[in-house]
Amino acid sequence: MLLCFTCDPYQPINDIFGLTGQAIGILHDNGFNIAILTKGGKRAERDVDLLQLGDEFATTLTFLDEQKSLKWEPGAALPGERIEVLRKAHELGIRTWVSLEPVIEPDESLEIIRQTYKFVDLYKVGKLNYLPQAGQIDWPKFGKEAINLLRELGKDYYIKKDLRGYL
């Protein structure tokens, strides 16, 4: 059961009510494994120890640069914070993955892979859509570079449909 693709399970209000942790408990009690996808950073850290064998912890990363992240992802935890929680989950034996999308600056996305591959099990890579700058990116080049890097590092990956069309 994925928590959550179209919103974030670690909104600031969760700090007050702890609903995500309660949901994790209910899902586990009913035999479900869960995958958490969040930009919550430290807000998610308190529940990492609730995860069990078969669960997954993931975060979306678009930038390493804090200023770019603040501009493109207002309200999200800074990239370094998200990366630290990923590392903690991995150290606890939880399968980890990164949603590397949208790719806004290809070089930055490749650098994210280089800096996180030791504690990330899977990368899901998708392109930027719907904005004018998407047309300025050489998607075939980026896709090939990303795949080559991921293969070189021995990482599992999934190329999203929109990017796959350029390969």
Share of the chain above pLDDT 70, in %: 100
| pLDDT bucket at 127, cuts 50 / 70 / 90 | very high
Pairing of strands 156-159, 122-127: parallel
Share of the chain above pLDDT 90, in %: 90
Predicted confidence at residue 129, as pLDDT, reads 92
Query: Could you tell me which of 105, 108, 109, 121 has the C-alpha nearest to residue 153?
Result: 121
Predicted confidence at residue 14, as pLDDT, reads 83
Residues contacting 64, CB < 8 A, separation 6+: 79, 80, 108, 111, 112, 115
Predicted confidence at residue 51, as pLDDT, reads 97
Q: Where are the domains of the chain?
A: 2-164
Q: What residues does 96 pair with on adjacent strands? A: 57
State the DSSP string of 50-84.
Answer: T--TT-EEEEE-S-SSHHHHHHHSTTSPPHHHHHH
Task: Report pLDDT digits (tens) over 20-30.
Answer: 999 999 999 99
Q: Specify the higher pLDDT residue, 20 or 12.
A: 20
- CATH of segment(s) 2-164: 3.80.30.10
Residue 16 confidence (pLDDT) above 90: no
The answer to whether 44 touches 38, Cβ cutoff 8 Å, is yes
Predicted confidence at residue 44, as pLDDT, reads 95
Task: Report pLDDT digits (tens) over 42-80.
Answer: 999 999 999 999 999 999 999 999 999 999 999 999 999
Mean pLDDT of the chain: 96
The answer to whether 112 touches 64, Cβ cutoff 8 Å, is yes
Predicted confidence at residue 4, as pLDDT, reads 85
Task: Report pLDDT digits (tens) over 92-106.
Answer: 999 999 999 999 999
| pLDDT bucket at 5, cuts 50 / 70 / 90 | confident
